[in-house]
Structure 1
């Protein structure tokens, strides 16, 4: 079951919005939905900053929907103890949502100029919707209706987003291009229709130990002739630095190499698994652009490997990583040859 937390704020010193109507329409969409039994809606109105934090802690939602006012780079408008505006900036929101990235799948900011906050939150959350300019009450409500109609019918977040925009367009409202989606696709991601019968797997003793915060630090030391990788679980692999020749960058299928690296690291037991996946997803998103920034890809890969080094059994996958990391660094260029040292290779 997916839990939806609907939050709203309409401070006294701001224009009156039809927030009650929006909440009612969301509830109606899911009440009539094909998969209505798969959703639970929790609402929190007139939210203050502390209410936001407490609601996330108490309800552990999968989807967070905010309705209210936005002020671009100044922040989202929540309420203070007097019911007046209290703006919360994008960086603070991103840090807060980052603490819940293991449970929150999607955030919808149905507020004017909220694209700034959406982009910041997307650092941690896979699907985030914001608005690239001001949006009127009618358009905002129509978007919410279309989005949750589709979600309740078993569609994924990207399709639901498009249905929401179509809902605005069908009403003849020219704001259908105002909602924007920041999406990070994951491998083997399935729709609600594919998952309604799935139950979470039981955790084994090892995963419980990981959550208790065992020391899983990793250090890599050595010189040009030899190196040893020491992982936090006392696995040690002695590695001789091997000189390698890099292939021509244009011969590298970078998408295939990133896929291979990600699949090799996916076998590790790591408390940072989500962060590793996010880093690879960011790398793939950049690679798929018409003119990818290789430094951005390199930074994302560096983050993924940095988290992976702390995982149990990292030394056991080093050999599998070598050929793919060699080709990847060739594509990335000289600035990223340093990544080869992680697996005991050198130029």
Structure 2
């Protein structure tokens, strides 16, 4: 069951907002939705700074909805112990949601000038909605009604966002372009649902060493260095291969990154969300008219370092090597260190 945590704050030294009406409309909308039995609504009002970690830890929500005041670069306004405004910085919010990225799917900041916080939180959460300027009560409420109407009908988050904007527009309110969405589409997960055979590990090699015998793995080539990896009764002798890089112009970088991602997607790891976020950051940069290769390289470096900690990474090195070789050629000399992550040089 998905949990929707609605947090609201209207400090007494700030302009009065119609937050109770917004919460009531959200509840009424979801109560009559086709999927009303598939989620739980939790509301917390007059939220103080100290409440944030407690509510997120206790409720473990799927969606976090904040209604209140935003202050642009200064952060979001919650309440202090006396009911006055206390700002929470953008950086602190991003760090907070980093701790809950395994559970939270979507964050909706229904507050003025909250796009900066949305961008920061999006480093860790797949879908975040913020406002690119001030938004009035009526527009904020209509957006929530549209968003949760779509959500209650089983639509995806992007369609929920579009429904929210359309609901504002249908009322003739000019603020329909104020909400902004930051979203990652997890292509490999969609492919896994539509083509599960491709991700079937039943025919893969079993690497369990139940017999306690020594297993020796040698990755050959022209060795320029070596490393010893030891585990329970296992020894792996890993030689670093020298490789020749292809011409950058011959590399289909998107195809190589997608192939890399498919291989890594099969690893069992607690860092799955961080790996996926890194790949999405790389893809987002590639989609730009003039992508920054250093930004792409940094994102892939993060993905590989998280993946390297996963059990079973060593068994994927042989399949990763040809793709890393081509990716490194495209990235340029600044990123030759990526080769070392898969025992190449």
Does TM-score exceed 0.5, indicating one fold?
Answer: yes
| Equivalent residue, structure 2, for 1:41 | 41
Q: 1:62 to 1:235 in 2, by over 3 A?
A: farther
Q: Take 2:71 and 2:135, find their aligned partners in 1: how far apart are those partners?
A: 12
SS at 2:128 equivalent:
strand
| Equivalent residue, structure 2, for 1:217 | none
Q: Take 2:28 and 2:275, find their aligned partners in 1: how far apart are those partners?
A: 38
- Deviation (angstroms), 1:280: 1.1
Q: How does 1:265-276 map to 2 (within 5 A)?
A: 265-276=264-275
- Deviation (angstroms), 1:243: 2.0
| Equivalent residue, structure 1, for 2:309 | 310
What CA deviation, in whole Å up to 9, does each residue of 1:159-215 have, x standing for no partner? 11111111111111111111101111113556xxx9xxxxxxxxxxxxxxxxxxxxx
Runs (4+) of structure 1 exceeding 4 A deviation are: 231-236
| Equivalent residue, structure 2, for 1:208 | none
After superposition, the CA RMSD in angstroms is 1.7
| Equivalent residue, structure 1, for 2:117 | 117
| Residue 271 of structure 2 is aligned to residue 287 of structure 1 | no
SS at 1:241 equivalent:
strand
* Rg comparison, structure with higher value: 2
| Equivalent residue, structure 2, for 1:32 | 32
**8 Å CA contact 2:224, 2:242 repeated in 1:** no
Q: 1:94 to 1:174 in 2, by over 3 A?
A: same
- Deviation (angstroms), 1:107: 0.1
Q: Take 2:304 and 2:229, find their aligned partners in 1: how far apart are those partners?
A: 15
Q: What is the TM-score of this pair, normalised by structure 1? A: 0.87
Q: What is the TM-score of this pair, normalised by structure 2? A: 0.87
Q: Take 1:231 and 1:88, find their aligned partners in 2: how far apart are those partners?
A: 46
| Equivalent residue, structure 1, for 2:145 | 145
Q: Take 1:140 and 1:234, find their aligned partners in 2: how far apart are those partners?
A: 61
Q: 1:117 to 1:265 in 2, by over 3 A?
A: same
| Equivalent residue, structure 2, for 1:163 | 163
